[in-house]
A = this chain, B = another copy of it.
Amino acid sequence: MEDILQQACDGELSAAEAAEALRSLAAQPLGFATIDHQRLERCGSAEVIFAEGKTPDQVAVIASAIIERSGAALITRAGGAHVDALRAKLGDLPMLTDSHQRTLLMGQQPPVENESAIVIVTAGTSDQSVAQEAQVTCAAMGMGAVMINDVGVAGLHRLGAKLDVLRKASVVICIAGMEGALPSVIGGLVDVPVIAVPTSVGYGAAFDGIAALLGMLTSCASGVVVVNIDNGFGAAHAACLMARKMSLATTDGHG
């Protein structure tokens, strides 16, 4: 903002040009999109691009505009064509991604604040793509995440072996499909918030994640909150807001 004002003072920008530039600091109109550049300031992270339903071109243009301002852009639920268009437009930029290239962090990855504040637990191996979406999101927000995989309730001793890791967490993200029972069990074992992510793993009465979603919403454990089916991104985003606040608090405390 100061740059713009300086340029106006220096006569490099007319008053009208400066006003337009200031307005686009907050919301940059691209015709098919209106980028919310203020979001970083208001909400603690830049706008995230939901790729589904957008053309590859639109995704690449939006990503480019966000990276220009914020240094990096997070893209979720991308398909192959989206990835190609991003590479074509922004190819020399570093890219962090999950193993299926559905979640992508283009641009500079922020330094990691805290390696182990967030623990991501999956009930089964089939839940892993959702867990990776969460992991990339944590990275995009500068938080590390410890993974504990395949410790579903039908073999609870597997979870028992990881209790020490769990109990060191500031927030637990618990990802499960089918009956989605794992968050209830974990919620009964820890004194930190548990963010439950239902997945569409299962068939028949799993109804693409509804069984797990309902199970998590009606959990008999008290500290469990829930996000949308397969929404690894949302869970990680919320977890980072929490963990970051906890770190900030600690840091403030030091001051």
Q: Given A50-B124, A191-B42 in contact, is the A223-B237 Cβ separation under 8 Å?
A: yes
* A151 CB contacts on chain B under 8 angstroms: 34
Q: Given A32-B150, A179-B218 in contact, is the A203-B52 Cβ separation under 8 Å?
A: yes
Q: Given A179-B214, A217-B226 in contact, is the A188-B154 Cβ separation under 8 Å?
A: yes
* A44 CB contacts on chain B under 8 angstroms: 191, 223
Q: Return A78 CB to nearest CB of chain B, in Å.
A: 13
Chain A residues with a Cβ under 8 A of chain B: 23, 26-27, 31-36, 38-39, 42-45, 47-48, 50, 52-54, 58, 62, 77, 123-129, 149-158, 161, 170, 177-181, 184-185, 187-193, 195, 198, 200-231, 233-235, 237-238, 241-242, 245-247, 249-254
Most buried by B among A34, A153, A222: A222
10 intermolecular pairs with C-beta atoms under 8 Å apart: A48-B222, A50-B126, A154-B220, A154-B222, A179-B179, A204-B218, A207-B214, A224-B227, A224-B234, A247-B249
Chain B residue nearest to A38 in the complex (CB)? B157
* A185 CB contacts on chain B under 8 angstroms: 153-154, 156, 181, 185
Judge whether A157 and B26 touch: CB under 8 Å. Answer: yes
* A26 CB contacts on chain B under 8 angstroms: 157
* A190 CB contacts on chain B under 8 angstroms: 42-43
Q: Return A180 CB to nearest CB of chain B, in Å.
A: 7
Judge whether A153 and B253 touch: CB under 8 Å. Answer: no
* A225 CB contacts on chain B under 8 angstroms: 195, 225-227, 234-235, 238
